[in-house]
């Protein structure tokens, strides 16, 4: 159907060639998106027709477009207990990495959070099972100051390139 439509445009319209190129680029970007390939620049798609070899390096520049938890390293608690605190908050988060976390622990028994707050661009926090929980990027955790000073040695480790790292902090909810 697209070929017929394009052919009619080229024959019937004096500016058909001006329409054909943008139309084909739009269709090409759409087809690539359906296959899970993100093309950010239409010019790159046009230049691709002149490419006869593609070489990829091993630095993690190719992705599936779906984040996945690679490893969990609980400190001082079991992974089951960690899931009990993390999953209730991540289920309420809209961040793409939250889905990766909930997929990783899809069979975990979880509780409903007593409180939840989305820290835009930083992480999430809330109260689960009477504990105040903060799940955030290492950079945000560093800004929390003396409250979490005991984690300083962990925070000084250099981040792993191309891997998003999050940290879970908890403390008993202060009584009011």
HSE at residue 172, side-chain half, CA atoms within 13 A, is 3
CA neighbor of 111 nearest in space, from 95, 90, 136, 87: 87
- The answer to whether residue 166 scores a pLDDT higher than 50 is yes
Q: What is the pLDDT of residue 140?
A: 80
> Which tens digit of pLDDT belongs to each residue from 13-45?
656 566 666 778 888 888 887 877 778 788 887
The secondary structure of 89-132 as a DSSP string is: HHHH--SHHHHHHHHHTTT------SEEEEETTTEEEEEETTEE
DSSP single-letter state for residue 82 = H
pLDDT of residue 173: 46
Which run of H or E residues covers position 68? Answer: none
- The pair phi, psi for residue 127, each rounded to 5°, is -120, 125
Catalytic one of 57, 103, 107, 129: 57
Q: Does residue 57 have an active-site annotation?
A: yes
Domains of the chain: 2-48 (no CATH), 79-172 (3.40.1110.10)
Q: How far is the C-alpha of 53 from the C-alpha of 37, rounded, in Å?
A: 18
How large is the greatest C-alpha to C-alpha distance in the chain, in angstroms?
Answer: 78
What H or E segment, with its residue span, contains residue 85? helix 79-92
């Amino acid at each position: 159907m697209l070929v017929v439509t394009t052919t009619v445009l080229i024959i019937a319209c004096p500016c058909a060639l001006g329409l054909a190129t943008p139309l084909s680029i739009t269709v090409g970007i759409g087809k690539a998106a359906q296959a899970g390939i993100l093309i950010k620049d239409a010019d790159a798609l046009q230049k691709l027709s002149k490419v006869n070899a593609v070489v990829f390096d091993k630095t993690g520049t190719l992705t599936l477009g779906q984040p996945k938890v690679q490893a969990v390293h609980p400190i001082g608690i079991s992974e089951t207990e960690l899931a009990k605190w993390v999953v209730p908050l991540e289920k309420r988060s809209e961040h793409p990495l939250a889905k990766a976390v909930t997929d990783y622990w899809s069979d975990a028994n979880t509780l409903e959070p007593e409180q939840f707050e989305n820290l835009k661009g930083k992480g999430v926090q809330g109260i689960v099972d009477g504990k105040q929980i903060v799940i955030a990027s290492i950079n945000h955790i560093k800004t929390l100051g003396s409250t979490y000073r005991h984690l300083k040695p962990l925070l000084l480790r250099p981040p792993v390139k191309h891997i998003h790292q999050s940290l879970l902090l908890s403390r008993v909810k202060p009584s009011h």
